[in-house]
């Protein structure tokens, strides 16, 4: 990934007081942490004669880690129909309007150390707002969670972030890439990540697991491309990620973790006589693994494409 991507994205540097992991990481370079908001970012390429910054240390969660998996997704007819949202009606009505009509799409995650976060949008994914909560107490609000990113940033997907914070993945259509915006537990920016490039993205999935990090998957009619971001915020599968799963999925892929060394991708695909569900199991290198005898999930490796990652 060329260094200009970080600039053209408009990705902001961290404003939280310089944690050692507050950096911007690209697939092919590490962008130095900014000690103050007035100092510019400087990019060091791995091929440069200048020393390359080492990866930041893995953040240590305060309290228990966030549960593994994806956000819980629901659709509500009105904001007062959801008990979590009902407690935040004043904030939500300020954002959407006092007479705003549903339906609204809701994503909810549990954060490390306790508490939760919700992403609320209109049914067409417009007007996003993110709220971090501790029971009914509002910790911080992000009324414009993708502000500063080159529009359009679509398919917003919420997952737990580092250090009790949150992470918001999006597909930046004009630049054909998937980005992650990390926010610390006090609401300040933590890091901006260019995860991988993808020519097309009809649906975006993302999941987190302690010890793994984040897996994001972009699905389109051409197939599904995925990336693993380690907990030190570095990508594992190259600037273009790995092509996994099947060609021609008909819905957003599901991501889950079934052991410390395997993860699963579940897709609905078109087949003779209708649709079928295929589940593929992969290791941390995005290579397919044998079905685990302890898993109660039926795993298919055949499908239409043979179930193997295809070379980018």
Cis peptide before 220 (omega within 30 of 0): no
3-state secondary structure of 98: coil
Q: Where are the domains of the chain?
A: 69-197
pTM of the full structure: 0.77
Give the DSSP per-residue string, 238-279: -TT-EEES-SSBSSPPEEEE-SSS-EEEEEEEEETTEEEEEE
Of 14, 9, 8, the closest CA to residue 161 belongs to 14
pLDDT in tens, 187-216: 999 999 999 999 999 999 999 999 999 999
pLDDT along the chain (312 residues), means of 10: 40 43 38 36 39 53 84 95 93 94 96 95 96 93 95 97 94 97 94 95 96 96 94 96 86 93 92 86 93 38 36 38
* Residue reference for tokens 């306790």: 114
E strands present in 97-152? 104-110, 116-122, 129-134, 137-142
Provide the edge-to-edge strand list for the sheet that holds 24-26. 43-44, 29-31, 24-26, 189-197, 177-183, 166-172, 153-160
- CA distance linking residue 277 with residue 94, whole number of Å: 41
CA separation for the pair 138, 102 (Å, rounded): 22
pLDDT digits (tens, 9 = 90+) for 62-79: 578 999 999 999 999 999
pLDDT for the residue 293: 31
Please, what sign has the CA dihedral across residues 281, 284, 290, 295?
A: negative
Q: Rounded to an integer, what distance in angstroms lies between the CA atom of residue 70 and that of residue 216?
A: 10
181 in Cβ contact with 192 (< 8 Å): yes
What is the per-residue pLDDT across 2-40, written as a single tens digit (0 to 9) for each? 333 343 355 444 444 434 333 344 443 333 333 333 333
pLDDT of residue 250: 75
């Amino acid at each position: 990934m060329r260094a200009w991507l970080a600039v053209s994205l408009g990705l902001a540097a961290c404003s939280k007081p310089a944690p050692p992991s507050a950096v911007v990481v690209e697939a092919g370079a590490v962008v130095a942490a900014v000690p103050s908001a007035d100092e510019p970012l400087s990019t060091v390429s791995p091929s440069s004669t200048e020393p390359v910054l080492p990866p930041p240390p893995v953040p240590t969660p305060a309290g228990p880690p966030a549960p593994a998996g994806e956000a819980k997704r629901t659709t509500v007819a009105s904001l007062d129909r959801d008990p979590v949202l009902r407690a935040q009606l004043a904030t939500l009505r300020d954002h959407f309007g006092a007479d705003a009509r549903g339906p609204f799409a809701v994503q909810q995650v549990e954060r490390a150390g306790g508490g939760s976060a919700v992403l609320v949008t209109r049914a067409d994914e417009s007007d996003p707002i993110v709220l971090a909560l501790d029971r009914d107490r509002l910790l911080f609000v992000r009324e414009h969670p993708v502000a500063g990113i080159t529009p359009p940033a679509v398919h917003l997907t919420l997952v737990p972030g580092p250090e009790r914070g949150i992470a918001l993945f999006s597909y930046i259509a004009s630049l054909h890439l998937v980005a992650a915006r990390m926010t610390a537990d006090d609401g300040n920016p933590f890091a901006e990540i260019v995860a991988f490039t993808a020519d097309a993205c009809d649906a975006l999935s993302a999941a987190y697991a302690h010890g793994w990090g984040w897996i994001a998957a972009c699905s389109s009619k051409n197939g599904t491309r995925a990336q693993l971001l380690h907990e030190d915020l570095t990508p594992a599968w190259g600037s273009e990620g790995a092509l996994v799963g099947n060609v021609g999925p008909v819905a957003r892929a599901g991501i889950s973790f079934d052991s410390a060394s395997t993860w699963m991708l579940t897709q609905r695909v078109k087949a003779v006589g209708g649709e079928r569900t295929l589940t593929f199991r992969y290791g941390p290198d995005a290579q397919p693994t044998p079905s685990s005898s302890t898993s109660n999930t039926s795993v298919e490796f055949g499908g239409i494409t043979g179930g193997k990652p295809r070379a980018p």
